[in-house]
Chains A and B, each alone.
Chain A
């Protein structure tokens, strides 16, 4: 048994940590959020050059063939400075679906992800679905060699930047995933900000004609691809939230040491010390659940989905606890938009809502 990171993994962490510390200041992040794309194209190019965009892809498709451990390292570091670049939607989710599929054209699309040229997003959420994403009301009907897609997709992460969307549809009464190019006739889009400073879109598909070779997968294959991708993404954002929680308690410790009230640093007060200890313990316990889920990624289906549900359920409540305490201990500074600390709270609220909140995953854990 060895739960330590390998030298190679440690090097990866050092590299990402160095980037986050030197190239991702709060001011820079604010500017990126306000920019037209909502992410920094130069940084994205840099991610590509550093090899980060190829991390999870299989070696035969041009990737580094890394697993969940390396991805969680990246997300934990990203979480510490709240990186907004759309790594999750393009590389993790769309990347995982394509890489694990038998889709004929996948190499071409994966190449453009790895090179940083293109973004691909998953469009699988519709309104009134209540977490059941396997019976979309978006329909694809065959017409000659093509099929015609009609439907409405919500909460498409990074949707406005996506060159292609992987769309869930019902095709011949079967669940299917198809690749649709942005801007084809009948494709319209409405973009929104998310609470954590990223963007998502509503995408309307009206009589969109798609060639049949754009079908990525159908039936059980498609369902498995979707479930695997969402499970991996859930693991990643859990790691991200641990990065947030770590930053929360460290920054709170630092702040209380410097903040003078009643003629002394407020870190002298035991009631605050114990609160910070609670924040630390909560973070370490979540990290332990992350280890469990990460190491059980190769286990059978039931085990791996269950351990991710346990993790995500805990992350939801712990993340909010830790970031709310961080805000509380910063006093009114904590609720200021100009201070990073409140943005961790926003991120952790966003993470709880993504891919099923704490309550949802607790139910899933019970049933699983």
Chain B
């Protein structure tokens, strides 16, 4: 057994650190340091900067314009970005639809969509959940009916993250009513500017506009936007969910938050809170090593599968716990409702982190729900690991 990274991997890590230090957009760093809200343009600027460095396709094979990095390099890259508090790389293009297109799409589709993902000229969003289809995703009802060389799409999607900024949406739609509900599903790409597509904001309990409802009324989608075969969408969706799960432990970001929390609490003289933080730290140590165990397995020819559900469950539990302890550290000042972003300029005195802490605490309730709820993850472990 050998825990240390190779010299080459360490050099790679230094390269990532150096980019973050020297090339991470300065105006974004400044806003983040001052706790200011980031605009749509800031997020685009960040992704464009990554593109310029050639790192946008950090998890893609080289033949599609990706970095061709090893799993260890991807791990290091994600961890360093988390540790440094960089903006999250939006997963919808590069993490989700991109791999589906290069794995199941035709040459024309690869040529048309992949470069725009890598240079972030297209902002993608994900059209999976529907008002009546959450964990039971395969029960989805949005219909696509073939009419000549178009599909006519009717229905609605919900909880669509950042759809208000998106140029395109990838959707699971029902192209056929089959006995087995998984079999009639297809995977289709829709331009958000197509007539009949409507986006309505959904405001979450933190006052934020992050998710949306998306409505489709007789939306005409060219048939060439269908990925792979009609009726095979469920297979592609499962492939995508597997992609989404890896890296969801967000260990780097949680270590960063833990260190900030320790600093905040060090001034409070609150041994009870310090104990809770220590228990959390030990849990985080375990999660970090759990991820390394799976990485090692992957790098040595193994095929970790359902084990990554542990990362999702524990990773999100730790993220949520961190926000709870930040709120606890805010004491009485957790009373004040911060409003969107926790950036209200008009908040009372008290700890500086208080408003943001409550905001994030409320916002992070989503983590155990998205990406396959933690209960669904437990079903996966129960079925595929314990054989129940």
Contacts and interface: CB of A to CB of B under 8 A. Distances in A.
Interface of A: 1-6, 69, 249, 253, 256-257, 267, 270, 273-274, 276-278, 280-281, 284-286, 288-289, 291-292, 294-295, 307, 310, 313-314, 362, 365-366
A319 to B, nearest CB: 14
A281 B293 contact: no
Given A4-B300, A253-B388, A284-B310, A274 B2 contact: no
Contacts, number: 110
Contacts of B349: none
The 8 closest A-B pairs by CB, nearest first: A288-B289, A3-B296, A285-B286, A273-B382, A288-B290, A295-B3, A277-B378, A288-B286
Interface in B273-304: 274-275, 278-279, 281-283, 285-290, 292-293, 295-297, 299-300
B381 A292 contact: no
B382 A1 contact: no
B17 interface: no
A3 B314 CA distance: 21
B190 interface: no
Interface residues of B, number: 41
Nearest to B275: A362
Given A1-B3, A1-B296, A277-B382, A285 B287 contact: yes
A284 B290 contact: yes
Contacts of A273: 378-379, 382, 386, 388
A281 B313 contact: yes
Contacts of A366: 274-275, 278
A273 B313 CA distance: 15
A281 B310 contact: yes
Contacts of B269: none
Given A4-B297, A276-B388, A277-B382, 5 more contacts: A6-B1, A69-B1, A284-B290, A292-B289, A310-B282
B62 interface: no
Given A253-B386, A280-B385, A366-B275, A1 B292 contact: yes
Nearest to A289: B286
B276 to A, nearest CB: 10
A280 B381 contact: yes
A281 B381 contact: yes
B313 A295 contact: no
B208 to A, nearest CB: 30
29 contacts: A1-B5, A1-B295, A1-B296, A2-B296, A3-B1, A3-B2, A3-B3, A4-B300, A6-B1, A253-B386, A267-B388, A273-B379, A273-B382, A273-B388, A274-B375, A277-B381, A280-B386, A281-B310, A285-B290, A285-B310, A288-B288, A291-B1, A292-B285, A292-B286, A295-B3, A310-B281, A310-B282, A314-B283, A314-B286
B182 interface: no
B148 interface: no
Contact of A281 (B278, B281, B314): B314
Given A285-B290, A288-B293, A295 B1 contact: yes
B34 interface: no
B4 interface: yes
B363 interface: no
B367 interface: no
A249 B282 CA distance: 22
B378 A310 contact: no
Contacts of A307: 285
A365 B292 CA distance: 22
Nearest to A292: B289
Nearest to A257: B388
A203 B286 CA distance: 40
Contacts of B379: 270, 273
A1 B388 contact: no
A136 to B, nearest CB: 30
B293 A365 contact: no
B300 A274 contact: no
Contact of A1 (B4, B285, B378): B4
